[in-house]
Structures are given as C-alpha cells and as structure tokens.
Amino acid sequence: MAWCIGRTEAVADPLGARLKAMAKIRGLAKLDDPESLVVPILLDAILMAESYRGARHQITFLDELTRDVDALIRELNLAEKSEEWAES
C-alpha cells in the first residue's frame, strides 16, 4: 500500500496533511541512521527556499528534494513493514 499526500489534500487540508506527515515521520526513531535521510532533505529544502525567494522561475532543487523525500518515505515504509512482520 503506497503512502502519499496528494496536492489536493495538501491544499484543501494543510493541517490534516501536516498531521499525516508527522504520523509518518514518527517512524524515524526506528531507523538505523535517520540523520543520513533527514539531513539531505533539510539541506535541499533550505537551498530550494533560498533559490526560490523572490524569483519567478522553476524551483531549482525540487527534483533533488523529491528524490530525498521519496527515499525517506521508502525507508519508513520498510521499517513499518518489518515491525508488522515481527508482530505477526
């Protein structure tokens, strides 16, 4: 089962989308090295915000940020599955 927050959900219910994301990232504590996944995302987010500030162009670092977020979600999904399998 794929986990996703769609654009419509994020725009229509930003608080609900944030709560859904927070529930997902609580699983970071279960990963072996969460910093190796989170730090690149934070760096990309900072660079993206700085590059987009006051500009009317494409977001420069969006591809990298998307890739890093996908990797983070993939690892969290694996950790959740492992926990489910261990419980059964």
pLDDT tens, N- to C-terminus, the chain (88 residues): 467 888 888 889 989 999 999 999 999 998 899 999 999 998 888 888 777 777 777 776 677 787 888 888 888 899 989 989 999 8
Q: Name which of 85, 65, 66 is nearest 77 in CA terms.
A: 85
For residue 12, how many C-alpha atoms fall within 13 Å in the half-sphere facing its CB? 5
Q: What is the pTM of this model?
A: 0.65
Contacts with 77 (C-beta within 8 Å, 6 or more apart), sequence order: 3
Provide the total of helices (H) and of strands (E) in the chain, helices listed first. Answer: 4, 0
Dist CA 62 CA 64 (whole Å): 6
